[in-house]
Structure 1
Amino acid sequence: MFEGMRRHASWIVLVIAGAFILSMAIGGITTIFTKTESLGVIAGEKISFENYRTILENAFANYARQNPDGKLDDEQAKKLNNETWDQIIQEILLSREIKARRIKVTQEDILGKVKEPTEDIETMTDFQTDGEFDINLYFTALEENPDFFNYIERRIKGSLPYEKLYDNVKAEIVLTEEDVKQQYADANNKANADIIYFEANKMKVNATDSLMKIYYEANKEDFKKGPARKLKYVKLVLEASEEDKQTSKAKADSIFKVVSSGMDFAEAAKELSEGPSADKGGDLGYFAKERMVTEFSDAAFSMKNGEISQPVLTRFGWHIIKVYDRKTNEESGAEEVKASHILIKNEPSEATIANLEIVATDLFQTAKKDGLEKASETFSYEVSETDEFYEDSKYIKGIGSEEALLKFAFSKKVGKISEPLKDRSGNYFVTEISFKIGDHYQDFEAQKKSIKLKTEKQLKSEKVEALAQDFIKIHKPSDFLTAAKKLDWKIIEAADITIGGTIEGLRKNDDLKSAILAGKVGENTELISDENGAYIAVIKNRELPDLEKFETEKETLLKEAQEKEETKHLNDWWRELRNNAKIEDNRKNYYSL
């Protein structure tokens, strides 16, 4: 029984996993980057390439074992790589927390847990009598099978410290009966109301330069920024060369000859197509003309049933199309074609990829001597410049999310050239630090577009509030709804308004909800304004919380509320722990991610 629980990877699985990892590596674990001492650093703990590769090999082997018929393609490989990295981060950070909180696991703790079998153990047929879990069979196995006992003990030793940590974190949340009673009251204090919405966006305003400058000076602290940098950069795009395209075309021509000579089209698609429908024999089902790219549709809809097309070029590559049937869609009346295709992509070859690396290296070496501008002139490349970015920026405009460049930009001097950076798509960037500034206010002219939008928003808000004030002066409260309809102001019929909920058609406004819930049926709220407009609510219905019902259900409500808050707190705690951890990820220097 216990032997059946052990799943050893065969040497074939391990070899396949290792080979695939090597195929992921950039240039067989060699790159134009200067190798760092470690593949990464997590909270001060260095992760060596060798250790990471071993862990990754195990992850690939486990995947291959669990998915013997599954396809391990590039996307799945990248996903496994990222999941493995995340697991290492989690293990290191949580282990540190366990140590910091002095969490210990005693033998008594372990033996106590041994007596509480987990769900996967309870569902094993070895421990069931008449289809139900039999605890006595489980205890007998523990007593008579030392291997099984040791297996269970190892599992508990591995998981119990983390369970104790989570319990420790969740114990930080203590909800009182008053807390839960207030939550219950808030959730069950409801109202229906007709809300007159004086919408600011309906206003016409003119944000002149003088008004924008007034806004800028009045809100100058909003434009205060920390240290910033800019980069000049050359982007070397990885794309198929003419030779690569000719090779793809020749391959497509050869496949066309084979399928035209009688080879089963579906079998050929399964073996040769590089498209996502390959597993289905290239089957695309029925489709209307506008569903496909123009070149593909033009070819497919001009063909007869049973006909096979010459290779058709689209932005996806070369397609050999076979049409099987056509019909008229009963609902739309549009003609539809049933077809399959074999796709041969126009992708860069290994030689093209290697050549781009050489070009990037040459540009980098020349730029180090002459500067990026002059080097780009020599190689006939276009130089672009990023917008200002900051040390905590997640994205550099024109380049993307690149931690290595952020670190480079904020640790080097103006004029420094970065080593070529390869992004996830295989493109290369060679960059030069072109601008450096400390704490500063963003320039009015540079921010003029956003200042104009903000000034206009403020002017609209002020204008619509003035109109709403005039509306109140002119009309009787009992006539508000009728008058608002005549003046074409929006009326929102809101139901089941609660303090924690949303009102459909409106942005969040707690003041408005509070005013409605404080009123009585038939009353109007005072005028309430925010940056989106002004509001008057006519209260139509009120539903007050049944506190007697709370008393009868409070034990269940207390338990549910405590569990909900504990889960939220645990998630927030982990998010903060992860976000605050210093993590250096250099995997892209070793793997194609």
Structure 2
Amino acid sequence: MGVMTYMRNRMHIILGILILAFLATILFSWGMGYSGAESDQHLVAKINGQDITYDQFINAYNQESSAYRERSGQELTEATRQRLRDQVWENMVNEILVQQAINKMKITVQDAELFHFLETNPPEFLQTQEVFQTDGRFDYQKYLEALHNPQGNEWLQVEQIYSDVLRRQKLQNQIISSAVVSPDEVKEAFSDENVKYEIEALSIPINPPRSQAPEITEDAISKYYQANKNEKYAVPEKRTLQYVSWMKTPSREDTVLVLNELEEIAFRLTEGELFEDLARIYSVDGSAANGGDLDFFARGQMVKPFEDAAFTAEIGAVIGPVETQFGFHLIKVTDKKTEEGQEKVRASHILLKVETGPNTIDQLMGNARLFSYDAEDQGYEKALLSYNLKADTTKGGIDKSSIFFPGVGYVSELSRWAFSSKAGSISQIIETDNAIIVAQLLSVTPPSIRPLEEVKAAIERELQRQEREKIAMELAESLYAKAQEGTALKSLQIDSIGVKLQRHSDFTINTAPGSFRNNKAFAATIREMNLNKISRPIKSSRDFSIIQLRMRGKFDETKFGVEKESKYEQLLTQKQNQLITEWMQATRDAAKIEDFRDRFF
């Protein structure tokens, strides 16, 4: 009972990866019935020997894609598809690893635990069901009666779902059990948010103005290169390809079809049909549900062609078609007024977009087929000349992660084809939302190390940066020594190299100015400093600073007493979530994850 009470009390905590991954699989319904009988060619991944098949992955992806369309009201671009595939992949890998951990640790949920949980935590999706409501509100007694008196196996799916949720909750409780927040941590966090400071900071720039670059020897550059070449200068295998594309832009025929449709709509208006009814049927704008009504608008709120037409038309007039960047409009002006000296128009419209029609796509596909046949028969270069086409080339080559191609956008299929083909190969026709593509793989460049001459200048700059940082640190230490001997910080300024004293006031540690923001060394220093004391040099990305504390505000004990409980909960949740994240990452690092996605995507 103690475990269940603790779990119920902690349900407000963000459950993080463990529960989210599981809930994602409930939505995706991709199933966990791995038989191991599938050929490896049908696998998207193996996670510690456990299979993810192509069908399981694509089912999850299709459901996530549908959910995205429903949420956004938009079709997917290739970039969005790639992002959703990555998201589904992460969810599925995490779910398998969590389930494997639960099985390995033999975490179970007893019937009594599950029943008690369902008694005290009615699922939200059941609370909205009419059978559990009285006068439109959730009736807890009806819910309890149904729970205590099942008529068959109607609770089986709920029990399965929440049994899995509770197992994950138990795993999570084990992971987060080491999270402890001390009273001192709570007080420090409150102080960082509320206590105000005033400081003087002597800044010693790492890259001072008008300074000469330190000289770096050839030997130093060579040693740095040898020490770092495998980590910093490794170049993955690359593929260079050329490709021609036929963009799916609307043809004149597509435009004429839209204009003819608008002409037919205009004729129906003259026959007495209502503008708002036709807008609901034909308009592709979001205003269609309101009969095309756009309400009142002033000049500057609509695109200019639309605005000019609406403001020059008489009330009741239907004008158009008017072409804008969005398509062709029929516009009906329904009212006009002047408000605070500004003329306004109320109008409704019917918007039709010119889209690439099937006849146009068939013609483009036919052109691509003819080119493809001739490229195979005569050679790619001769086909380019014959059809007077110019190919785009991936200058510098692409690696396996490259999915963006100039001129055609995101095409993961093109990258996958390039890395599964031999030099000289010509692709089949590749079709995307925006283009039809035929490509040739020009060359394959094996993995390599960038030569020293190619990276020499970059290494020299890095070593110069390190040398400047060393010089600045030595100067900062010498100025600190003088300050310790009693020299005022103001007297230590050196204008010629940008060593300047600045005063910063009315800030908290969480709102510290400039390079001090999120600087742990700075925060730790001023928390402990006594008034008017001098700090050792504190490094930031741009400089070293010697700090003198001029003012520390009072700690508001009354406000702290009001907020300390919520601050404790906030810190505890942060630590728990960090432990979950670290556990998940460590579990992934230790897992054998075989990724075969490049076979399919």
Relative to the length of structure 1, the TM-score reads 0.68
Distance 1:431 1:206, change over 3 A: farther
Tell whether the 8 Å contact from 1:42 to 1:89 is kept in structure 2 after alignment: no
Alignment of 1:92-131 (within 5 A): 94-95=95-96, 97-102=98-103, 103-120=107-124, 121=126
Would the alpha carbon gap of residues 265 and 561 (structure 1) be closer, same or farther in structure 2, given more than 3 Å must change? Answer: same
In the alignment, the residues of structure 2 paired with residue 402 and residue 206 of structure 1 have an alpha-carbon distance, to the nearest angstrom, of 48
How far is the alpha carbon of 1:241 from its aligned partner?
1.2
2:328 aligned to which of 313, 318, 326: 318
State the alpha-carbon separation in 1 of the partners of residues 459 and 338 from structure 2: 54
Partner in structure 2 of residue 344 of structure 1:
352
- Give the distance between the partners of 2:469 and 2:234, measured in 1 at CA: 27
In structure 2, C-alpha distance between the alignment counterparts of 1:586 and 1:306, rounded to whole Å: 60
Q: 2:290 aligns with which of 276, 280, 283?
A: 280
Contact 1:236 1:429 in 2 (8 A): no
Farther-moved stretch of structure 1 (346-355 vs 462-471): 462-471
What displacement does 1:252 show?
A: 2.5
Letter in 2 for 1:380: N
Q: 1:205–1:456: 8 Å Cα contact kept in structure 2?
A: no
8 Å CA contact retained: 1:193, 1:537: no
Matched, 1:380 2:388: yes
Answering whether residue 446 of structure 2 is matched by residue 437 of structure 1, we say: yes
Are 2:171 and 1:168 equivalent residues in the alignment? yes
Do 1:269 and 1:281's aligned partners in 2 also have CA atoms closer than 8 Å?
yes
Give 1:46's aligned amino acid: T
Alignment partners' CA distance in 2, 1:252 and 1:185: 68
Deviates more, 1:314-323 or 1:178-187: 178-187
Give yes or no for the alignment of 1:192 onto 2:197: yes
The aligned counterpart of 1:295 is 305
Q: 2:249 aligns with which of 239, 243, 248?
A: 239
After TM superposition, list the pairs within 5 Å mapping 1:241-260 onto structure 2.
Answer: 241-259=251-269
Amino acid corresponding to residue 508 of structure 2 in structure 1: I
* CA deviation after TM superposition for structure 1 residue 345, in Å: 0.9
> Normalized against structure 2, the TM-score is what?
0.67
Give the SS at the match of 2:319: coil
Q: Is the 8 A contact 2:423 2:441 kept in 1?
A: yes
* Partner SS for 1:310: strand
Q: Offset of 1:349 from its aligned partner?
A: 0.6
Counterpart secondary structure, 1:390: coil
Partners of 2:110 and 2:595 in 1: CA distance: 32
Offset, 1:311 = 1.2
Matched-pair identity in %: 21
What residue number does 2:32 align with? Answer: none
Name whichever of 530-539 and 343-352 sits farther off.
530-539
> Residue type matched to 1:101 in 2?
I
Aligned-partner Cα distance in 2 for 1:213–1:324: 79
Determine whether 1:355 maps to 2:359. Answer: no
2:236 is equivalent to residue 227 of structure 1: yes
- Which of 477, 488, 509 matches 2:488? 477
Residues 192-201 or 159-168, more deviating: 192-201
Q: CA RMSD in A?
A: 5.6
Note the residue ranges of structure 1 that are not aligned, 5 or more in a row.
Answer: 1-35, 589-593
The offset of 1:157, in angstroms, is 1.7
Aligned to 1:22: none
* Residues in 1 aligned to 2:420 and 2:82: alpha-carbon distance in whole angstroms: 29
2:142 is aligned with 1:141: no
Q: What CA distance in whole angstroms lies between the structure 2 residues aligned with 1:89 and 1:95?
A: 10
- Aligned ranges 1:574-593 → 2 under 5 Å: 582=595, 584=597
- Cα distance 1:281–1:536, how it changes in 2: closer, same or farther (>3 A)? farther
CA–CA distance in 2 between the matches of 1:287 and 1:511?
A: 55
The answer as to whether partners of 2:109 and 2:166 remain within 8 angstroms in 1 is no
* Distance in 1, Cα, partners of 2:342 & 2:216: 55
Contact 1:42 1:92 in 2 (8 A): no
Q: Distance in 2 between matches of 1:469 and 1:328?
A: 71
Q: Is the 8 A contact 1:494 1:503 kept in 2?
A: no
Q: Distance in 2 between matches of 1:255 and 1:452?
A: 70
Gapped runs of 5+ residues in structure 2? 1-39
- 1:408 equivalent in alignment to 2:411: no
- Change in Cα spacing, 1:408 to 1:87, as seen in structure 2 (3 Å) is closer
Are the equivalent residues in 1 in contact too, given 2:316–2:334 (CA < 8 A)? yes
* Rounded Cα–Cα distance in structure 2 between residues aligned with 1:389 and 1:490: 49
Instruction: Tell me how far 1:282 sits from its aligned partner.
Output: 2.3
Give 2:399's aligned residue.
Answer: 390
How many Å separate the matches in 1 of 2:565 and 2:259? 72
Aligned length: 536
Q: Cα distance, 1:168 vs. partner?
A: 1.1
1:35-50 alignment, distance < 5 Å: 44-48=51-55
Structure 1 counterpart of 2:55, which letter? S
Task: Name the amino acid aligned to 1:173.
Answer: I
Change (3 A) 1:329 1:216: farther
Deviation at 1:439, TM superposition (A): 2.8
More off after superposition, 474-483 vs 411-420: 474-483
CA displacement at 1:174 relative to structure 2: 3.5
Between the aligned partners of 1:446 and 1:372, the Cα distance in structure 2 is 35
Give 2:417's aligned amino acid. Answer: F
